[in-house]
């Protein structure tokens, strides 16, 4: 029996109201950041709500002061490498954990998860020692260069975990059919499973990108020179001992946030591709 | 055959045991450089790395000064300055560097951090360099330093780091508002201070926005503020011998009692947001602000751009003894343990940086305070242009510093908890007794 | 068998690159932390101390023993319930239940009274405060976060106009730089009478509160509002402080977008024809949700709940930024305490020991969660 049109409209209105409320709550700090980036310092001090005149100069000054051009390029390259590595290694690792049977599978999965459980302040020193040793022992430069900034985070236990969950929820007939056709595991993974994993792969890629983009403590540790410093370090320039220049800090933060938002905006449809909940309309 | 194997095993066991013992023995500290070594060392042509935490204008000025040093110094020493992050990041990098990475030659460090580096033999004592006839400070130069500044960086009789600049805690006050309340000078006694705070609460600033709250003091819960108050009441945090905390004292009670009383009268409130007191001060809602002098430039801008542009100045807290007592603090420079030549070159850089000419230059750029008295001679025009800075400058002579003992950082947190507790109504006697007991416990086990 | 060995080989080959990196940068640090925690390690390695740091942190070994015994007993009871061992003994149903209840009671008593209480009395108060605050934080955050994000994900899947817009806006909290969101939330939860939280609160008819600067628990404040002047200590111990609650709100705000995005990805895998078939059969929206959506999204939900537990127990950044002196130690989760020990006390050895205790707690919780919840997850076919 179709629901009454009035009840249906009421429900839709409620849905819209709820989502709008949540949208307002989600966006106001970002809006504050955006508005403050166009204010003068005096206006930020007076807690003004709107800038009287749009101060485009803040952006130019922030860009100049914090070497944003160089740092931007660095962040992009670092993020690209890290995301690429994460996607590849996590996919390769999640597959046997989800689909293959071998001795020690649960133990390996447990070890993978265990790497998530140790607090960060304690892992920085050993990781730095490892990277320093690699820098000295291998012909590649690790410190002050992209390897130290990307490789330690290329394998993310989150990503392996998420992909494994996803793959396990897929029907196993897929593999049976492929095996009958003579495909090996490698071909199956890349030709059949990979296209199906689009949504979780994009999710993994997105979070890996954000993690790389916003990382601060580790890049500060492994870069002594500005050559490979990422943008998060640039933002630190506006924080000083006795006061923050809010108008410049927010301008810098806006510049730093734009790529992430653009990437997410372009990809957000992909996350939800294939969804059509016909039964839930109205 | 069996005998050979058992011999092998026993030799192996002995080897392992020795290695384990060697590993288990804590590494001792290498002795400080002897006077002879220092005299003989040759600093020429050394390349140094300097880790700092300054950003923006201060960084630009610092890098310029470093460039000038590289050009002009007679030994051909080349210094490379590197932005290493904030104080925590520098500390992180240093402890990692001390365990197998790279260490710089000169780095910025707070006293407790320098202490930790020194205990791990990561930095060197500076006395051999300061006392050296050839490379060190002359008697007149040494007398030129404000005594409290050098003293603060001495631990157990050893100079473990050296001050490049200092800041102090001052009382910012709104002069126009004070005049409206009927006073023509900053508070000279604590009773006057109380009266002024109450008056400010009753009679808001005429130019402030009506309808908002009006306070005498907006207090940041910070151990340095409490220390300033205790110093101004004639007390100290550490015993004269330096081996016990003295936190349950009449002066501490007086300081806390003052805060409680003002809070009860409604003219004191705890700070709710970082830099909130600066902001409220700049819009005329707070009469007094107790803060570091490094906020001077920010307060100046805030007052100007806040729209009210009133007259303001800085003063020391009222003192019970007649002469002012101000809490001075700041990060210092430490020299890492590298080679005798590089250590000497590092000291020469620090010595150059603390000469009056360079100090005057650094002061103009950074708005910090210099560590040598004779700097004032070249700052006449600067004083004229920045009267509040001049007011604060005159107080450098009366500096006193907080303890530099190990574990003080944790005691700071305990002091802050005590401040909050007392302001929320906890029993003062019990709080202070507990505070002193717990603070002295950190001295025992080093925590 | 040849097939299973070749499958084994393939599996290990696939895992090799990831395991190399994880081994070097994920597992080695754990081993290193253990090594550090066994020494007096300030900046450089000092004397070998063995388990002395752990003893100082955890407390008397006897108390620990009782605690472990008590927990083991509880595990035994759980195992016995499902097994046939008890049926073999010719006991009646009531007698079986009584025996189990007795054993359970004994286990709980052992774990709590000589165990936990003894540990708290003899161990480091900073550790136990850290664990307590972390547990409160997790309990307050996780259920709210997961249910809200489930609701949001569900709402976002309905065919609506401006779907894309809502999905982008929802993700904003997660991408807004922490400096910006922290400043805004600190200003919202400021004790200033003009702060947003206070204005809302007074508009609802209540008095002003100190929010991020309030170390008393929410229940204590309620009691105070009701007129009570004093209350038992456990009111402040077992409930989160107002400061912690404010931080919880902040964290939920940040991470809902993250959870929702992941849930959306999981929900997108559910084939549409299931819903169509259900609609043909006349199922209501709630029935579709309960019998199709929930089971098929349970792998993702399980992932999220595990990640949430691990994440909240490890949480550091957002909490550290919102910490104030006024909150005293009511917001000091264990990660923050570890950071303090490292950066203020300069005691790397002790910090590593605390980190290892935290690691063990998270490991135990995850194993427990895996066992209890993991069975209910529905995988594909």
Of the candidates C33, C265, C276, the beta carbon closest to that of A271 is on: C265
User: What are B393-438's pLDDT values in tens digits?
Assistant: 989 888 888 988 878 888 999 999 999 999 988 899 999 999 999 9
Residues of chain C with Cβ-Cβ distance to B30 below 8 Å are none
C340 touching chain B per CB within 8 A: yes
Instruction: With CB atoms and an 8 Å threshold, state whether B301 touches A129.
Output: no
**Average pLDDT, rounded, for chain C:** 85
Q: What is the pLDDT of residue B15?
A: 34
Cross-chain Cβ contact B275/A243 below 8 Å: yes
Partners of A165 on chain C (C-beta within 8 Å) are 266, 299-300, 302-303
Show residues of chain A in contact with C183, CB under 8 Å. 29, 32, 246
pLDDT in tens, C178-234: 877 888 898 889 888 878 888 888 888 888 888 998 888 999 888 888 888 888 888
Rounded to whole angstroms, how far apart are CA atoms B255 and B197? 15
What's the rounded mean pLDDT across residues C241-247? 94
**Residue of A46, A133, A237 lying closest to B307 (CB–CB):** A46
User: By CA distance, what is A238's nearest residue in C?
Assistant: C179
Subunits adjacent to chain C (3 or more Cβ pairs under 8 Å):
A, B
Residues of A with CB under 8 A from a CB of B: 40-42, 45-47, 65, 124-125, 128-129, 132-133, 217, 220-221, 224-225, 233, 236-244
Q: Is residue A49 part of a domain?
A: no
Dump pLDDT digits (tens) for C307-325. Answer: 889 988 988 888 988 998 8
> Which sign, positive or negative, has the C-alpha torsion B18, B23, B25, B28?
positive
Per-residue pLDDT reduced to its tens digit, C68-86: 888 888 888 887 776 666 6
Rounded average pLDDT over B197-216? 89
Residue A10 lies in a domain: no
- Cα B3 from chain centre: 67
Average pLDDT over residues B312-334: 92
State mean pLDDT over C24-33: 91
How high is the pLDDT of residue B7? 41
Alpha helix (H) ranges present in C176-270? 178-188, 196-203, 218-225, 233-237, 242-267
Average pLDDT (C140-152) is: 91
Burial category of B144 from C-beta neighbours within 10 Å (exposed 0-12, middle 13-18, buried 19 and up): middle
Residue of B272, B408, B412 to mutate, testing the C interface (most C Cβ within 10 Å of its Cβ) = B272
If residue A240 lies in a helix (H) or strand (E), which one and from where to where?
A: strand A239-240
Q: Any alpha helices (H) in B73-182, and if so which ranges? A: 87-98, 111-119, 127-131, 139-144, 147-152, 175-180
- pLDDT(C6) > 70: yes
Residues 6+ apart with CB under 8 A from A203: A162, A271, C261, C262, C265
Whether the per-residue pLDDT at A265 is higher than 70: the answer is: yes
pLDDT at B72: 92
Interface test with B, best of C342, C345, C349, C350 (most B CBs within 10 A): C345
Is the pLDDT assigned to residue A240 strictly greater than 70? no
Torsion sign over Cα B244, B249, B252, B253: positive
DSSP state of C228: -
Residue A52 lies in a domain: no
Report residue B287's pLDDT band, with 50, 70 and 90 as the boundaries.
Answer: very high
**Domain at C125-376: CATH architecture:** Orthogonal Bundle (1.10)
Nearest to A26 by CA among C165, C43, B180: C165
Q: What's the pLDDT tens digit per position in C290-310?
A: 888 888 888 888 888 888 899
| ipTM confidence | 0.82
Distances (CA, A) of B292 to A148, A185, B244, B288: 39, 66, 27, 13
Q: Do A46 and B56 touch (CB under 8 A)?
A: no
* B302 contacts A65? CB cut-off 8 A: no
Chain A residue closest in CA terms to B367 = A242
Segment among A176-185, B307-316, B418-427, C41-50 with least mean pLDDT: A176-185
**Residue A14 belongs to a domain:** no
Domain count within chain A: 1
Q: What is the dihedral of CA B419, B424, B430, B431, to 10 degrees?
A: -20
Q: What percentage of chain C carries pLDDT values higher than 70? A: 95
Q: pLDDT (tens digit, 9 = 90+) per residue, B20-56?
A: 333 333 345 677 777 788 888 888 889 999 999 988 7
316-335 in C: which are within 8 Å (CB) of B? 324-326, 328-329
What is the mean pLDDT of the segment spanning C76-98? 74
A6 CB neighbour count, 10 Å cutoff: 8
**DSSP character for A153?**
G
pLDDT of residue A272 exceeding 60: no
- Higher local confidence (pLDDT), C6 or C312: C312
pLDDT attached to residue A43: 78
Residues of chain C contacting residue B20, judged by C-beta atoms under 8 Å apart: 48
A 110-129 near C (Cβ less than 8 A): 111-123, 125-127, 129
Which of the pair, B372 or A174, is modelled with greater confidence? B372
* Closest residue on chain A to B94 (Cα): A221
- Taking the Cβ of residue A190 and every Cβ of chain C, the question of whether any pair is shorter than 8 Å is answered with no
Mutate to test the interface with B, among A45, A127, A221 (most CBs of B within 10 A): A45
With a cut of 60, say whether residue B386 has pLDDT above it: yes
| Interface probe, candidates A32, A39, A46, chain B, greatest B C-beta count within 10 A | A46
pTM score:
0.87
Report helix, strand or coil for B106.
Answer: strand
Chain A residue nearest residue C342, CA to CA: A121
Size of interface A-C (CB pairs under 8 A): 296
Q: How confident is the model at residue A195 (pLDDT cuts 50, 70, 90)?
A: confident
Q: Which residues of chain B lie closer than 8 angstroms to C338, CB-CB? A: none
Q: CA C376 to CA C378: how far, in whole Å?
A: 6
Q: What is the pLDDT of residue C374?
A: 75
Given a cut of 60, is residue C347 above it in pLDDT? yes
Q: Residue A106's domain is classified under what CATH number?
A: 1.10.3720.10
Q: A70, A120, A220: which to substitute to probe chain B, counting the most B Cβ within 10 Å?
A: A220
User: Is A264 part of any domain?
Assistant: yes
- Asked whether the beta carbons of residue C175 and residue A260 sit closer than 8 angstroms, the reply is yes
Q: For residues A89 and A154, is the Cβ–Cβ distance under 8 A?
A: yes
Contact check, Cβ <8 Å, C328/B112: no
Report pLDDT for B76. Answer: 92
Convert the pLDDT of each residue in B397-408 to its tens digit.
Answer: 888 889 888 788
Query: Is residue A16 domain-resident?
Result: no
B positions 102-121 inside 8 Å of C (CB): 112-113, 116-117, 119-121
**Which residue does chain C place closest to A236, by CA atoms?**
C179
Residue contact C325–B122, C-beta within 8 A: no
Predicted confidence at residue C91, as pLDDT, reads 67
**CA-based nearest residue to A175, from A190, A194, A188:** A188
Q: Which of C19, C21, C175 sits opposite A154 (nearest CB)?
A: C21
Mean pLDDT within C112-129: 89
Beta-ladder partners of B171: B290, B315
Taking alpha carbons only, the member of A122, B304, B71 closest to residue C355 is A122
B61 contacts: CB under 8 Å, gap ≥ 6 = B361, B362, B365, B366
d(CA B401, CA B398): 10
List the single residue in C with minimal CA-CA distance to B87.
C343
Summarize the confidence of residues C61-70 as an average pLDDT. Answer: 89
* Cβ separation C21–A152 shorter than 8 A: yes
* Closest chain B residue to the Cα of C38, Cα to Cα: B24
- Residue A122, pLDDT > 50, answer yes
Nearest CA in chain A to C278: A279
**Contact between chains at C43 and B417 (C-beta distance less than 8 A):** no
B305-320: pLDDT as tens digits:
877 889 999 999 999 8
Q: How far apart are CA A66 and CA A16, in angstroms?
A: 42
Q: Under an 8 A CB cutoff, do A133 and B100 touch?
A: yes
A175-191 burial: b if 16+ Cβ within 10 Å, else e: beebeeeeeebeebbee
Residue A37 within any structural domain of the chain: no
pLDDT tens digits along B118-150: 988 999 999 999 999 989 999 999 999 988 899
Residue A138 sits at the chain C interface (C-beta within 8 Å):
no
For the cut 90, the answer to whether the pLDDT of residue B349 exceeds it is: yes
Asked if the model's pLDDT at residue B8 lies above 60, the reply is: no
- Kindly determine whether residue B89 and residue A224, on different chains, have CB atoms separated by under 8 Å: no
Confidence (pLDDT) at C381: 44
Q: Which chain C residue is nearest to residue B28, measuring alpha carbons?
A: C46
The verdict on a CB contact (< 8 Å) between A115 and C24 is no
Name the more confident of B393 and A182.
B393
Contacts (Cβ under 8 Å, ≥6 apart) of A193: A95, A167, A170, A174
């Amino acid at each position: 029996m179709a629901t009454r049109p009035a009840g249906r409209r009421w429900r839709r209105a409620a849905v819209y109201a709820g989502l709008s409320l949540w949208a307002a709550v989600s966006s106001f700090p970002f809006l504050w950041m955006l508005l403050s980036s166009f204010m003068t310092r005096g206006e930020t001090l007076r807690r003004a709500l709107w800038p009287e005149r749009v101060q485009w100069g803040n952006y130019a000054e922030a860009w100049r002061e914090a070497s944003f051009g160089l740092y931007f390029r660095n962040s992009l390259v670092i993020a690209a490498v890290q995301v690429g590595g994460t996607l590849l290694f996590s996919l390769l690792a999640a597959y046997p954990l989800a689909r293959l049977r071998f001795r020690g599978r649960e133990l390996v999965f447990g070890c993978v998860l265990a790497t998530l459980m140790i607090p960060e302040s304690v892992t920085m020193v050993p990781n730095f020692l490892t990277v320093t040793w690699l820098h000295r022992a291998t012909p590649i430069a690790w410190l002050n260069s992209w390897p130290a900034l990307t490789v330690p985070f290329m394998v993310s236990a989150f990503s392996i975990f998420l992909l494994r969950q996803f793959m396990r929820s897929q029907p196993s007939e897929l593999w049976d059919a492929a095996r009958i056709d003579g495909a090996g595991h490698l071909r199956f993974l890349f030709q059949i499973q990979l296209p199906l994993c689009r949504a979780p792969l994009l999710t993994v890629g997105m979070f890996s990108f954000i993690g790389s983009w916003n990382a601060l403590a580790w890049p500060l540790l492994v870069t002594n020179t500005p050559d490979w410093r990422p943008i998060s370090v640039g933002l630190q320039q506006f924080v000083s001992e006795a006061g923050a220049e809010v108008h410049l800090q927010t301008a810098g933060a806006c510049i730093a946030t734009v790529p992430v938002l653009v990437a997410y905006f372009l990809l957000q449809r992909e996350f939800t591709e294939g969804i059509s909940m016909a039964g839930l309309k109205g | 055959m069996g005998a050979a194997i058992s011999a092998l095993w026993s030799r192996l066991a002995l080897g392992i045991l020795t290695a384990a013992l060697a590993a288990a023995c804590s590494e001792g500290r290498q002795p400080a450089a002897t006077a002879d070594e220092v005299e003989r060392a040759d600093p020429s042509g050394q390349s140094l790395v300097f880790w700092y935490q300054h950003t923006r204008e201060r960084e630009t000025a610092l890098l310029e000064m470093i460039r000038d040093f590289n050009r002009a110094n007679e030994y051909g020493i080349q210094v490379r300055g590197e932005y290493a992050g904030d104080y925590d990041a520098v500390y992180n990098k240093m402890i990692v560097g001390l365990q197998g990475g790279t260490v710089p030659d000169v780095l910025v460090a707070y006293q407790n951090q320098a202490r930790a580096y020194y205990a791990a033999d990561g930095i060197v004592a500076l006395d051999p360099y300061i006392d050296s006839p050839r490379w060190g400070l002359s008697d007149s130069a040494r007398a030129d330093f404000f005594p409290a500044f050098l003293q603060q960086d001495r631990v157990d009789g050893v100079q473990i780091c050296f001050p490049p600049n200092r800041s102090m805690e001052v009382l910012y006050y709104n002069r126009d508002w004070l005049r409206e309340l009927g006073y023509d000078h900053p508070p000279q006694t604590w009773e006057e201070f109380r009266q002024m705070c109450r008056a400010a609460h009753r009679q808001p600033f005429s130019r402030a926005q009506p309808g908002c709250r009006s306070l005498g003091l907006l207090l940041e819960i910070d151990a340095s503020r409490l220390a300033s108050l205790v110093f101004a009441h004639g007390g100290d945090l550490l015993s004269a011998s330096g081996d016990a905390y003295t936190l349950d004292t009449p002066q501490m009670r007086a300081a806390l009692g003052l805060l409680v009383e003002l809070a009860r009268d409604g003219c004191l409130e705890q700070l709710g947001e970082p830099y909130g007191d600066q902001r409220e001060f700049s819009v005329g809602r707070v009469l007094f602000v107790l803060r570091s002098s490094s906020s001077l430039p920010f307060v100046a801008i805030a007052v100007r751009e806040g729209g009210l542009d009133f007259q303001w100045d800085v003063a020391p807290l009222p003192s019970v003894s007649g002469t002012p007592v101000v809490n001075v603090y700041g990060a210092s420079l430490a020299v890492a343990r590298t080679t005798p030549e590089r250590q000497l070159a590092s000291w020469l850089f620090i010595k150059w940086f603390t000469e009056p000419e360079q100090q005057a230059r650094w002061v103009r750029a950074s708005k910090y305070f210099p560590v040598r008295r004779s700097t004032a001679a070249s700052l006449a025009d600067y004083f004229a242009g920045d009267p509040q800075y001049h007011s604060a400058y005159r107080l450098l002579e009366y500096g006193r510093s907080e303890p530099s003992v190990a574990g003080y950082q944790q005691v700071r947190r305990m002091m802050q908890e005590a401040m909050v507790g007392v302001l929320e109504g906890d029993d003062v006697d019990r709080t202070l007794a507990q505070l002193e007991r717990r603070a002295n416990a950190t001295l025992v086990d080093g925590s | 068998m040849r097939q299973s060995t070749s499958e084994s080989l393939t599996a290990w080959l696939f895992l090799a690159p990831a395991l190399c990196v994880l081994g070097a940068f994920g597992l080695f640090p754990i081993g290193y932390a253990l090594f550090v925690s066994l020494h007096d390690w300030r900046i450089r390695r000092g004397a070998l101390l063995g388990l002395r740091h752990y003893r100082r942190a955890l407390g008397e070994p006897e108390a620990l023993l009782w605690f472990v015994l008590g927990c083991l007993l509880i595990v035994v009871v759980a195992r016995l319930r499902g097994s046939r061992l008890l049926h073999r003994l010719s006991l009646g149903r009531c007698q079986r239940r009584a025996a189990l209840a007795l054993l359970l009671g004994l286990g709980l008593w052992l774990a709590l009274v000589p165990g936990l209480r003894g540990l708290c009395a003899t161990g480091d108060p900073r550790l136990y405060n850290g664990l307590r605050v972390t547990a409160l934080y997790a309990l307050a955050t996780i259920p709210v976060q997961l249910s809200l994000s489930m609701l949001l994900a569900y709402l976002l899947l309905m065919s609506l106009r401006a779907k894309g817009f809502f999905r982008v806006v929802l993700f904003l909290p997660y991408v807004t730089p922490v400096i910006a969101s922290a400043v805004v939330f600190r200003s919202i939860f400021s004790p200033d009478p003009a702060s947003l939280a206070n204005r809302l609160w007074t508009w609802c008819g209540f008095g002003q509160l100190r929010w991020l600067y309030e170390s008393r628990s929410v229940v204590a404040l309620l009691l105070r509002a009701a007129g009570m002047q004093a209350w038992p200590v456990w009111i402040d111990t077992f409930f989160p402080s107002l400061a912690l609650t404010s931080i919880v709100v902040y964290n939920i705000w940040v991470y809902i977008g993250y959870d929702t995005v992941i849930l959306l990805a999981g929900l997108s895998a559910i084939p549409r024809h299931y819903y169509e078939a259900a609609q043909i059969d006349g199922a209501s929206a709630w029935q579709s949700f309960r019998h199709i959506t929930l089971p098929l999204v349970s792998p993702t939900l399980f992932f999220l709940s595990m990640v949430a537990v691990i994440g909240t127990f490890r949480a550091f950044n957002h909490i550290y930024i919102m910490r104030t002196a006024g909150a005293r130690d009511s917001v000091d989760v264990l990660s923050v305490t570890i950071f303090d020990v490292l950066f203020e006390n300069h005691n790397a050895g002790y910090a590593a020991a605390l980190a290892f205790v935290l690691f063990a707690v998270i490991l135990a919780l995850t194993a427990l969660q895996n066992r209890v919840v993991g069975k209910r997850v529905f995988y594909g076919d």
